[in-house]
Amino acid sequence: MSPTKNSAAIFNCIPEGYPVLNETIVTGSSTIDLAEIPERPPCKPISNFGIGKVIRSEKDGVYPDDFVYVQELPFQEYNVLHPEHPLRVIKEEPGIPLSAYVGVLGMPGQTAFYGLELVGKPVAGETIFVSSGASAVGSLVIQLAKAKGLKVIASVGSDDKVNFLRGIGADVAFNYKKQNVADVLAKEGPIDIYWDNVGGSTLEVM
C-alpha cells in the first residue's frame, strides 16, 4: 500500500500581536504509511482518560486534593501536566464513585448522549441498530434509546455478550458471527437510526 498524503495546518511561529495568515499558520503535508502504522512504544506507561488527585497545582481553579478528569493521563503513580493539558475538576457527589467519571459520566456517556440526541434525534417508536452493542459507548446508547422508547437491535461477537445486551434492555440482540446482519435487519427493521461502532461490512449492509 502506497503512502497516503496527509495535509495539515502547521503552527509555524509565535505571532507578535495578531496571527498573520500564511505566516503564523501554514499549510503543509506529510505522508502516512497505512501498511506500517506505528505500534504503541514498549516500556512506557499506557494512557487514556483517567482520574487523578492533585498534589500540587499552579493552575488557576485547580487546588491540592482536587480530583481531576484528564484526557490522555499516563497510568502511573505521579504525573506532571502542562497547565494547558485538557482536564476538569470533579466535584465528589455522595453515592457516585469516581470510576463513573471515566464511564457513564465521562467520554463514553457524553459520546452516547450527545451523538444520540443531537445527531440521531430519536423519536419514540423508531428503531435503532447499534453495532458493537457491548462496547462502552454502544451499551450506553442502547440504554438511552430504550429510555426514549425506541426499539433497539444490537449486534455483538459472542453469545455471552448477547446475554449481556438482553440484560440491559436490547429488544433484539444477535451474534453477527452466527447470524447474517442483513437477514436480521430485514426481519426486524426498517432502521431509522444506525449507530455505527465498527464500519466495514456491517456498514455496507446499511
Instruction: Assign 80 to helix, strand or coil.
Output: coil
Q: Angle, nearest 10°, between helix axes 136-147 and 159-167?
A: 40
Q: Cell 434525534 identifies what position?
A: 121
Residues of the chain with CATH 3.40.50.720: 107-205
Per-residue three-class SS string for 111-126: HHHHHHHHHHCCCCCC
Q: Cell 449507530 identifies what position?
A: 195
Q: Which CATH class is domain 107-205?
A: alpha beta
pLDDT higher than 90, residue 200: no
> pLDDT tens digits, residue range 91-126?
989 999 999 999 999 999 999 999 999 999 999 999
- The DSSP letter of residue 51 is E
Task: Tell me the C-alpha distance between 52 and 76, whole Å.
Answer: 10
For the entire predicted model, the pTM comes to: 0.75
Instruction: Assign 53 to helix, strand or coil.
Output: strand
* pLDDT-derived band at 146, boundaries 50, 70, 90: very high
Task: Determine if residue 22 is left, alpha or beta; phi over 0 gives left, psi from -120 to 50 gives alpha, anything else beta.
Answer: left
The mean predicted confidence, pLDDT, of the chain is 91
What's the pLDDT score for residue 41? Answer: 75
Cα-flanking dihedrals φ and ψ of residue 42, to 5°? -75, 165
- The DSSP letter of residue 184 is H
